[in-house]
Chains A and B, each alone.
Chain A
Amino acid sequence: MNSRLARASVTSFIVFIVLVPIYWLVSTSLKSNKEITQEGTLYPHVPTFDNYLRLFSEKNFGAYLTNSLVVTTVSVSIALVLGTLGAYAMARFRLPFLLERKIGLLLLTLRIVPPVVILIPVYLLMLRLGLLDQWLGLIITYTAFNVTFCVWMMESFFREIPVDLEEAAMVDGDSRFGAFRRVTLPLAAPGIAATAIFAVIVTFNEFMFALALTATPKAMTMPRGTATLIGRIDTDWASMAAAGVIGALPIVVFALLVQRHLVRGLTMGAVK
């Protein structure tokens, strides 16, 4: 009885700690700026949706949202195709000079080193290619980062699928690639889904490269657009809170729907 009470109180405490900042964000987003700075109320006394409407009518959030959706969808899709092919080759073939091991090590190292290290050269590359402030510049960058992740994740999924099934298909006259496409790929579908989910979340949330590579609503993504609201002198708290809600909502809903597949990605495959 006693330990059950202790569990319940610790659980509620943690849930409280996690949710309080989120409550405050949502509550602020429903207040007017006057109520926020002058009255300091603990909940919106006069709830209003003006802040949200203003984001779309005055602050280009429609464009940011479109940019984010396009860039995320395209780069994750390409990375999934390239990553799945590469991962299968690495999981199933033994190449001369242990080539597949070396490539694996390279990809994983690139994945782990903080991206800030290549921020400047990637910026210079895009500058030279004339791809600054364009979807394509972001798409190329995100695709590369996602490929390193997709290969690493998918390889471990492929390793869990028994080889015998492909062998059987090949004995029955299937080609190597045919066996991969018709037998292994369908079996790997849950793994592909888990990889895609994680890649979508990371890509949608990315800020640093978006900050360096985009400058106008033409290509700015949601996090990048949200950061434009932060002024040096006075801050439009109400808009900022509303932008926070809009920026976080799709990803949180998405993540909660698919939470079972998330943990493996978050822990780089260390936890299954």
Chain B
Amino acid sequence: MNPKGGILSMNPKGQILTKQRLQGAGLDLALPYLMLAPAVLVVLCVLVYPFWDGLRASVQAYRYGTAVGWAGLDNYVRLWSDDQFLNALWVSIRFVFLAVAIETVLGFALALFCLREFKGIRLLRTVLIIPMVITPVVVAILFRLIYASDAGMITALSVAIGGGQVQILGDPVNAFIGLVVLDVWEWTPLMFLILLAGLQSLPQEPFEAARVDGAGAWRSFVDLTLPMMRPVLAIAIVLRTIDAFGTFDQVFVLTRGGPGEATKLVSIYGYDTAFKFQQTGYASAMFVTVGLIVLAMALTAVRLLQKEAQE
């Protein structure tokens, strides 16, 4: 057979060699393209074309949902003097930073804790699947039912011990914290699963050597675990950050951005701009900008993932 790499991994030059040997060799040449075409076509029409369309919309002026003329970069310039947009961006950044930081620390601690097999770990893993797979809209309902000042669990508990109504979604600071708590509840399990898998795949020898040398648990955590876990931590944090930036469903149902603008993330503000205020061009510019920010993060993530996948 082909000594250089087998029939299946050959390059176009090698194909002449094996052509006669295989049935339907002519069709085989076109096969990769035939197999790829439908998937690529769907993606080009439904995802890539809209990307391009969004770019085009972002340089046009719209009135009542129809394009009325060329606006150049006006929409983009306007973004940076729009207090509501800047506020939304700031809320998003604070939300993403806080939520991801807490999730990483909690998830990592939990993963370290679960590293050694013990009874009950299977129960724990099963239970931790639930928050991740529940419909995000329902997660928001869960937390509305906890926070609501009249029907909420916190109020019910406070009444049970003799207190009064507790305001959470009506108070700007509490509502924001409430949103972060929701995200932590929903996504810490993901951090936990990624980091646990990472910890389990670390080689054992360095740790044994450290123990022989008399290093304590803390020393070997700082000197061995942390540096070796860096790539996995990076992947987990980047993936989660990008995801958190796109958070929409939970806020839409929990607070719709309120009270005031305390929880109005960029996604919510952009949605309102497009669908409530019908400023399609301006909203497009906003999403293109956010898209670029996230794309930069995404490319980092893609590199990391591809490196990981090839190993």
- Chain A partners chain B: yes
| A residues lining the B interface (CB < 8 Å) | 4, 7-8, 10-11, 14-15, 17-22, 24-25, 28, 36-37, 40-42, 82-83, 85-86, 88-90, 92-96, 100, 103, 105-110, 112-125, 140-141, 143-145, 147-148, 151, 156, 163-164, 166-167, 170-171, 173-177, 201, 204-205, 207-208, 211-212, 222-223, 226-227, 230, 235, 237, 240-241, 243-244, 247-248, 251-252, 255-256, 259, 262-263, 266-272
Whether A120 touches B274, Cβ cut-off 8 Å, given contacts A94-B11, A255-B129, A262-B133, is: yes
Whether A103 touches B40, Cβ cut-off 8 Å, given contacts A248-B134, A271-B197, is: yes
A-B contact pairs, 12 of them (CB 8 A): A7-B120, A85-B39, A117-B290, A121-B57, A143-B42, A143-B46, A170-B22, A205-B136, A235-B148, A237-B148, A240-B144, A270-B235
Main secondary structure of the interface of B (DSSP, over half): helix
Which chain B residue lies CB-closest to A140? B46
Distance A180 CA – B131 CA, assembled complex (angstroms): 38
Q: How far is the CB of A146 from chain B (nearest CB, A)?
A: 10
Question: Contact mask B269-311 → A, CB, 8 Å, 1/0?
Answer: 0110011000010011001101100110011011001101100
Within 8 A of A (CB), among B53-87: 53-54, 57
Is there an interface contact between B239 and A119, defined as CB atoms closer than 8 Å? no
Q: Which residues of A sit under 8 angstroms from B270, Cβ to Cβ? A: 116, 119
Is there an interface contact between A124 and B53, defined as CB atoms closer than 8 Å? yes
Is there an interface contact between A89 and B31, defined as CB atoms closer than 8 Å? yes
Question: Contact mask B118-140 → A, CB, 8 Å, 1/0?
Answer: 10110111111111111111100
| B residues lining the A interface (CB < 8 Å) | 1, 6-12, 22-24, 27-28, 31-33, 35-36, 38-40, 42-43, 45-51, 53-54, 57, 110, 113, 118, 120-121, 123-138, 141-146, 148, 150-151, 153, 155-157, 159-160, 185, 190, 193-194, 197-198, 232, 235-236, 239, 242-243, 245-246, 248-249, 252-253, 267, 270-271, 274-275, 280, 283-284, 287-288, 290-291, 294-295, 298-299, 301-302, 305-306, 308-309
Is there an interface contact between B274 and A256, defined as CB atoms closer than 8 Å? no
Distance A248 CA – B198 CA, assembled complex (angstroms): 30
Q: Which residues of B sit under 8 angstroms from A207, Cβ to Cβ? A: 135-137, 248-249, 252
Is there an interface contact between A223 and B137, defined as CB atoms closer than 8 Å? yes
Distance A163 CA – B8 CA, assembled complex (angstroms): 7
Is there an interface contact between B309 and A21, defined as CB atoms closer than 8 Å? no
Partner of B36, one of A15, A19, A103: A103
Distance A42 CA – B118 CA, assembled complex (angstroms): 34
Q: How far is the CB of A253 from chain B (nearest CB, A)?
A: 10
Whether A82 touches B291, Cβ cut-off 8 Å, given contacts A18-B131, A120-B57, is: no
Q: Which residues of A sit under 8 angstroms from B1, Cβ to Cβ? A: 167, 171
Is there an interface contact between A112 and B287, defined as CB atoms closer than 8 Å? no
Partner of B137, one of A10, A164, A166, A227: A227
Q: Which residues of B sit under 8 angstroms from A244, Cβ to Cβ? A: 138, 141-142, 145
Is there an interface contact between A21 and B146, defined as CB atoms closer than 8 Å? yes
Is there an interface contact between B51 and A121, defined as CB atoms closer than 8 Å? yes
Distance A260 CA – B131 CA, assembled complex (angstroms): 16
Which chain B residue lies CB-closest to A272? B197
Whether A86 touches B185, Cβ cut-off 8 Å, given contacts A11-B123, A15-B123, A94-B11, is: no
Whether A121 touches B50, Cβ cut-off 8 Å, given contacts A201-B133, A237-B145, A267-B193, is: yes
Q: Which residues of A sit under 8 angstroms from B148, Cβ to Cβ? A: 235, 237
Distance A124 CA – B35 CA, assembled complex (angstroms): 30
Q: How far is the CB of A162 from chain B (nearest CB, A)?
A: 10
Is there an interface contact between B190 and A204, defined as CB atoms closer than 8 Å? no
Distance A160 CA – B214 CA, assembled complex (angstroms): 41
Is there an interface contact between B287 and A14, defined as CB atoms closer than 8 Å? no
Distance A262 CA – B190 CA, assembled complex (angstroms): 11
Distance A10 CA – B290 CA, assembled complex (angstroms): 39
- Which 3 A/B pairs are nearest by Cβ-Cβ distance? A114-B246, A86-B39, A144-B46
Distance A170 CA – B291 CA, assembled complex (angstroms): 46
Q: Which residues of A sit under 8 angstroms from B252, Cβ to Cβ? A: 207-208, 211, 227
Partner of A118, one of B51, B130, B271, B294: B51
Q: Which residues of A sit under 8 angstroms from B141, Cβ to Cβ? A: 25, 226, 240-241, 243-244
Is there an interface contact between B47 and A248, defined as CB atoms closer than 8 Å? no
Is there an interface contact between B185 and A21, defined as CB atoms closer than 8 Å? yes
Whether A28 touches B8, Cβ cut-off 8 Å, given contacts A19-B127, A85-B39, is: no
Is there an interface contact between A15 and B135, defined as CB atoms closer than 8 Å? no
Partner of A94, one of B9, B110, B142: B9
Is there an interface contact between B294 and A114, defined as CB atoms closer than 8 Å? yes
- Known A14-B127, A116-B267, A173-B23; further 10 A-B contacts with Cβ < 8 A: A4-B118, A21-B143, A85-B39, A121-B284, A205-B136, A205-B137, A207-B135, A248-B138, A256-B130, A272-B197
